[in-house]
């Protein structure tokens, strides 16, 4: 359908002016919409990036790099950060490709519209002026015709009575007639001119001007259409990356393996390598001899406790320094894993140092063959430094390998005893809560290793009592630094459990040592201290 505003809307100048003004207002409103949407995308990207940064680990933790759900969450945070980048890119494209272009085009459109309607108003003013001129000549012609007619009537009446007056009246009538004829000519001229102007106005000027306005309006609509397509295209452009990010999130979630984590990693992290507690042996207190032996053993233990009074258990140190280098403070399985990790790291460092040494040797050989390239002697200090570093690393490697062999041998001994089912004197002494004490050979080894710590505690002042405790089970302290006790005994508490399962207690202000926390009930309030009795 072909519609031309110049022919179809020739008399709708004012309505066209209102319509085009509303079209420009719509264009400005759409531009503002795109700008606000870009601001929302920018703000959304900023908030997503801030959220990702907030929940991203501040520093790498070993457990988070081990568990699959932690890795999946970290991957999700990285993908969210990538999503925020895509949203920022979308906001940038909306601002640069649409908002800026539409703002510039709106100003150009306003200028063009103003020009077209100014031309239309000038054409309208011209036709109105031509019409006014036609109306003026028409009224003058009408007036002159009426005056000529009256003058002719006057002349006709006077001619019959007086010749002199009649001549004068005839001359006046003749003048009026000539004036009417001139007015008629002017009216005809004005009429022809107006018809010509009107034809030109409605068939030439108005169609051309209105066609330009129509073209301007169609370009405005087309520009809005292009802006909408560009907006959709800008978002479609980031969809592949967004889709990949979502796919990566899905893959991370599907990579979580609950069974593997529970069976492998949790066991790997927390397995201690200790044997489960064995059966508790029956103690027959009805036999006088056994009771006497038990009492004598108890007295021997108390004498041993007095001999080594104020001696701490060597593996429960105060916070005087770092953990032992051989990791003996850890359970056997964890000690083995710690030493194995340390050995692997040392091997990597040794490999790097050897590669650096080989590179320096090749460089020295090149310098010796081509002295102009450099002084071979300048590399000697660095070679000596690398050599010393290698010696230290190899010595540390041998030391850690020896500790690892010791840990492996202990694990093998424990495993052999578990398979043989032996619960003799050399096996571990188990407790109702699963605590353990080492065998006699291990005790001798611990005592020899703890000798270096004895001097640190000989001159210590006794610690004040912070409460009391009541023993729930009998305990035979076999390791140095532990204190034997019988069931129902009241003791003073001088140091709480630090998380290692042992509590420091005192008997009669003379005997002091560590007992298993699970074997006692602790009272730290002041009333309990007042009710305490010493044995």
All CATH 1.20.1270.60 domain ranges of the chain, comma separated, are 5-260
Instruction: Please identify every stretch of the chain with a pLDDT value under 70, giving residue numbers as ranges.
Output: 1-2, 59-66, 159-163, 166, 261-266, 268-270, 272-275, 284-323, 329, 413-462, 525-535
Q: What is the structure's pLDDT at 453?
A: 38
Residue closest to 6 by CA, chosen among 202, 213, 207, 209: 207
212: its two tokens: 């330009």
Query: Residues near 414 by Cβ (< 8 Å), separated by ≥ 6?
Result: 273, 274, 275, 332, 428
Order of strands across the sheet with 490-495?
511-516, 502-507, 490-495, 467-471, 520-523
**CATH class assigned to 332-412:** mainly alpha
How far is 494 from 152, CA to CA, in rounded Å? 149
Helix (H) or strand (E) holding 490: strand 490-495
Q: What is the structure's pLDDT at 111?
A: 94
What Å distances lie between residue 92 and 48, 84, 98, 375, 467, CA to CA? Answer: 17, 12, 10, 57, 69
User: Strand 520-523 to strand 429-430: parallel, antiparallel, or no bridges (unpaired)?
Assistant: unpaired
Dihedral sign computed on CA atoms, order 484, 487, 492, 493: positive
445: its two tokens: 């080894």
Predicted TM-score (pTM) of this structure? 0.51
Q: What is the structure's pLDDT at 302?
A: 42
Question: What is the DSSP code string of 234-267?
Answer: HHHHHHHHHHHHHHHHHHHHHT--HHHIIIIIHH
Q: What is the structure's pLDDT at 337?
A: 81
Q: What is the structure's pLDDT at 268?
A: 67
Q: What is the structure's pLDDT at 299?
A: 40
The residues that bridge with 490 in the sheet, in sequence order, are 470
**Of 2.30.30.280, 2.30.30.40, 3.40.50.300, 3.40.50.12140, which CATH number belongs to 467-524?**
2.30.30.40
All CATH 1.10.287 domain ranges of the chain, comma separated, are 332-412
Cβ-count burial of 514 within 10 angstroms (0-12 exposed, 13-18 middle, 19+ buried)?
Answer: buried
pLDDT digits over 4-56, tens only? Answer: 887 888 888 899 999 999 999 999 999 999 999 999 999 999 999 999 999 88
Q: What is the structure's pLDDT at 252?
A: 87
pLDDT digits over 340-361, tens only? Answer: 888 999 999 999 999 988 988 8
Q: What is the structure's pLDDT at 264?
A: 62
Q: Hey, what CATH topology would domain 5-260 get? A: Substrate Binding Domain Of Dnak; Chain:A; Domain 2 (1.20.1270)
How far is 471 from 469, CA to CA, in rounded Å? 7
Q: What is the structure's pLDDT at 86?
A: 92
How far is 49 from 135, CA to CA, in rounded Å? 77
Contact 364, 382 (CB under 8 A): no
All CATH 2.30.30.40 domain ranges of the chain, comma separated, are 467-524
Contact 412, 332 (CB under 8 A): no
Q: What is the structure's pLDDT at 65?
A: 65
User: Strand 502-507 to strand 490-495: parallel, antiparallel, or no bridges (unpaired)?
Assistant: antiparallel
Contact 451, 512 (CB under 8 A): no
Q: What is the structure's pLDDT at 502?
A: 87
């Amino acid at each position: 359908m072909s519609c031309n505003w110049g022919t179809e809307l020739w008399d709708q100048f004012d309505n066209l002016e209102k319509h085009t003004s509303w079209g420009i207002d719509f264009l400005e409103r759409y531009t503002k919409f795109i700008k606000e949407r870009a601001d929302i995308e920018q703000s959304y990207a900023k908030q997503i990036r801030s959220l990702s940064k907030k929940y991203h680990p501040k520093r790498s933790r070993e457990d988070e790099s081990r568990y699959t759900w932690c890795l999946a969450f970290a991957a999700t945070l990285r993908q969210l950060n990538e999503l925020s980048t895509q949203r920022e890119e979308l906001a940038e494209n909306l601002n640069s490709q649409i908002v800026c272009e539409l703002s510039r085009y709106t100003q150009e459109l306003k200028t063009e519209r103003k020009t077209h309607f100014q031309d239309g108003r000038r054409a309208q003013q011209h036709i109105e002026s031509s019409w006014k001129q036609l109306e003026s000549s028409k009224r003058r012609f009408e007036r002159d015709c009426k005056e000529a007619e009256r003058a002719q009537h006057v002349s006709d009446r006077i001619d019959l009575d007086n010749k002199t007056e009649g001549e004068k009246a005839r001359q006046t009538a003749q003048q009026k007639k000539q004036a009417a004829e001139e007015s008629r000519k002017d009216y005809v001229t004005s009429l022809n001119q107006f018809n010509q102007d009107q034809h030109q106005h409605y068939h030439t000027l108005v169609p051309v001007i209105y066609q330009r306005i129509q073209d301007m309006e169609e370009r405005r609509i087309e520009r809005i259409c292009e802006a909408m397509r560009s907006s959709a295209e800008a978002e479609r452009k980031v969809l592949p990356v967004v889709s990949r990010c979502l796919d990566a999130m899905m893959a991370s979630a599907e990579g979580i393996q609950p069974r593997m984590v529970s069976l492998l990693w949790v066991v790997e992290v927390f397995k201690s390598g200790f044997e489960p507690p064995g059966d508790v042996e029956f103690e027959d207190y009805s036999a006088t001899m056994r009771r006497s032996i038990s009492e004598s053993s108890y007295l021997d233990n108390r004498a041993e406790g007095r001999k080594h009074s104020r001696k701490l258990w060597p593996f429960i140190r105060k916070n005087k320094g770092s953990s032992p280098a051989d990791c003996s403070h850890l359970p056997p399985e964890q000690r083995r894993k710690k030493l194995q990790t340390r050995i692997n790291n040392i091997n990597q460092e040794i490999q790097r140092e050897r590669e650096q040494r080989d590179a320096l040797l090749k460089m020295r050989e090149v310098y010796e063959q081509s002295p102009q390239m450099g002084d071979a002697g300048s590399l000697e200090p660095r070679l000596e430094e690398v050599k010393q570093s290698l010696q230290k690393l190899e010595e540390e490697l041998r030391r850690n390998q020896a500790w690892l062999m010791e840990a492996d041998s202990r694990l093998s001994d424990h495993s052999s005893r578990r398979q043989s089912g032996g619960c003799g004197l050399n096996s571990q002494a188990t407790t109702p809560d699963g605590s353990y004490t080492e065998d006699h050979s291990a005790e001798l080894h611990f005592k020899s290793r703890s000798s270096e710590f004895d001097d640190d505690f000989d001159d210590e002042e006794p610690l004040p009592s912070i409460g009391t405790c009541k023993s729930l089970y009998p305990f035979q302290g076999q390791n140095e630094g532990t204190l034997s006790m019988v069931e129902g005994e009241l003791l003073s508490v001088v140091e709480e459990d630090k998380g290692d399962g042992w509590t420091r207690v005192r008997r009669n202000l003379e005997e002091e040592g560590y007992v298993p926390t699970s074997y006692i009930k602790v009272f730290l309030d002041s009333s309990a201290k007042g009710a305490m009795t010493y044995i």
